[in-house]
Structure 1
Amino acid sequence: MNLKTLSIFILAVLFFGLHISFAQIDSIPKKEGISMKIEQTGVEKERDFGLDLYDPLGPSKAAFFSAVIPGLGQAYNRKYWKIPLVYAALGTTLYFYIDNNNQYQAYRDAFKQRLTGQEDEFFGILTDQNLIDAQKLFRKNRDLSLLFVIGAYILNIVDANVDAHLQQFNVSENLSLKPQAEQDFLTGNLSYGLSVNFKFN
């Protein structure tokens, strides 16, 4: 598996993880709820609408924690399963950056030795043009790997921030949002709509 294929795979995994964080909204322990008393057949029943207090600093804290220590924002959001993904992405991209940089330096040093008339480790194996081409290739791969390292780091921060935002939405099971489609029998056209339902148990 070459560098480009592996880099594309890593980005796909990161975007998939980010997509899951958008799709999955986990409930968090409630700080305070808004309750309402409903009179039903002479008996007062208290309903908890599951509305949590909004913490405006929550997303900022999660993003800051992930910026300081990658994965800490995910721990703050209680998404512990994402921490290995963060470090796998950062570790893999860092490994390829270091490896490509070492290869670049090795061919560069060999080329410098050859210019001074000394024998290098590739003497008799690679020509001068081969050394130049190898330097260009590994320098390009090194720079590309650095971009992926930065991208993985930024995605780690964005994921923590977005996750913290999503956790503050109302996730009460009594609320539902349902799409509707009805056909007009006179014209044969479909009418689309959206309904918000609140269920009283």
Structure 2
Amino acid sequence: MPNNRLYTSLFILFFASFFGFSQTPADSIRKDISKDIPKEAVIDSIVRKPMNILAPSRAAFYSAVLPGLGQAYNKKYWKIPIVYAALGTGIYFYLDNDKTYDRYRDAYKRRLAGFTDDEFYGDGTTPRVSSEGLIRAQNTLRRNKELSLLITFGLYALNIIDANVDAHLLQYNLDENLALKPHFKYSEQENSTNLGVTLNFKF
């Protein structure tokens, strides 16, 4: 029994001393390697821009208050003219259909009152546009008004969604620490080429 305890103690002491000595060179190598790495590379691989979880909500809120303001918050200034051009087109068609609808409605009201001097009657004894035609035109223009208004609201909502999604995408990590790069190398000594793709991931 004493011999077994002695052997056990020696065995534990041997492995403890082995791992203790084996760690020393590794530590020294790690320290030597860290000395060779530029400080800028170490800082670049460690420092990250903090994620702003409120940025998407803030961008969406700004675009809801004033279309295009969320795009300006995301620094996508080139999108602002597109936002206003889309909304302006929808509003233009709505106002144009509304104005034409009022013309047909006023003419129809004068027909019901017994007048024949509206702009759609013409100079002859028979109207250029019948009363039924005025009713059909009003129905078509009313639908066009509603469609234009619906499209305008859809573009307004799309402006908000675009600002929100853009703010999300701007926070993705696209730096050099995670990259997929093709490479092409030519060896003059071996007179050969090397073509491939490297995946770089740094902690």
Which TM bucket (shorter chain)? 0.5 to 0.7
Would you tell me which structure has more strand in proportion to its own residues? Answer: 1
Change (3 A) 1:39 1:90: farther
1:114 pairs, out of 108, 111, 116, with 111
SS of 2:86's partner is helix
Aligned length: 148
Bigger relative contact order, structure 1 or 2 (CA pairs below 8 A, ≥6 apart): 1
After superposition, the CA RMSD in angstroms is 2.3
Structure index of larger Rg: 2
Are the counterparts in 2 of residues 94 and 149 from structure 1 also a CA contact under 8 Å? yes
Q: With the length of structure 2 as denominator, give the TM-score of the two structures.
A: 0.67
The 5 A counterparts of 1:50-61 are: 51-61=48-58
Q: Distance in 2 between matches of 1:38 and 1:92?
A: 65
Q: Distance in 2 between matches of 1:59 and 1:90?
A: 22
Q: Distance in 2 between matches of 1:45 and 1:39?
A: 12
Q: Distance in 2 between matches of 1:175 and 1:39?
A: 25
Q: With the length of structure 1 as denominator, give the TM-score of the two structures.
A: 0.67
In the alignment, is residue 172 of structure 1 matched against residue 175 of structure 2?
yes
Change (3 A) 1:39 1:63: farther
- Counterpart residue number, 1:129: 132
Structure 1's unaligned 5+ residue stretches are 1-36, 179-194
Q: Distance in 1 between matches of 2:148 and 2:136?
A: 18
- Counterpart residue number, 1:10: none
The 5 A counterparts of 1:12-31 are: none
Percent of aligned pairs with the same amino acid: 55
Q: Distance in 1 between matches of 2:31 and 2:201?
A: 14
Structure 2's unaligned 5+ residue stretches are 1-29, 122-126, 182-197
1:11-64 deviation per Cα after TM superposition (whole angstroms, max 9, x unaligned): xxxxxxxxxxxxxxxxxxxxxxxxxx9852743533213621011111111111
SS of 1:113's partner is helix
